[in-house]
Amino acid sequence: MYRRAVLGATVGCLCCAGCLSNSGSVPSTGTDGPPTDEPTATASRTRTGVEASFEVVDGHQPTDPTAAARFEADRVIVTGTMDPGGCREPILGSVAYDRPAGRLRLVVDTESPYGPTATVECGNASYDYRCTVSVEDGTPAVVEVVHAHEGRDDRTFVLRDE
C-alpha cells in the first residue's frame, strides 16, 4: 500500500516537472532563468591579427540607424544604433582588416535570442552597440560598418580617420 502511494507521488512529481520545464513556446536563454535586458558581449580574433569586443549597450524605441568611429592610437571604437527588426538583436557577425588599404570592415549581423520554435510577440526596437577593435601591426584609416539585416537591404557606413 505504501509502495503505491510512493510510486504515485513520484510519477506526479515527474509529470509536474515536465510541465514546468522550458518548452518551444517559452523563450530560451540557454541559462536557468528568464531572458534579461542585460548587455551582451562577445569577442573574436581573426586570422589577420584583429581582436574585437562587441556589446549591446541599450535598447529603445526605433530610431534611424547610425554608426560613428573614434580612432585612437591602439584601437578603434565604433558606436552605432541598429534596428534589426522583429525579435532580433545585433551581434558581431565578422571583422576583417585589409592591411595595405588600412581598411577595417565590421559586419553587425542579427540573431534571435529565442529558440527556433519559440512563439513570442515582438515589436521593433533599436539597439545601441559598441565595438572596440585592436589591430596588430596596423592602424586603420577607414572603417566600413555594415548593418546586415535578415530579409532587408544592408546599410553600410564608411567612416574615415580625420
The domain limits of the chain are: 40-160
More confident residue, 42 or 151: 151
Cell digits of residue 13: 512529481
Which of 7-11, 49-53, 54-58, 72-76 reaches the highest mean pLDDT?
A: 54-58
Give me the amino acid identity at 8: G
**Contact 72/109 with Cβ under 8 angstroms?**
no
pLDDT band for position 43 (50/70/90)?
low
What is d(CA 87, CA 77) in angstroms, rounded to the nearest whole number? Answer: 27
Average pLDDT estimate for 41-65: 83
pLDDT band for position 42 (50/70/90)?
low
The predicted model scores a pTM of 0.71
pLDDT score of 110 more than 50: yes
What is d(CA 88, CA 147) in angstroms, rounded to the nearest whole number? Answer: 13
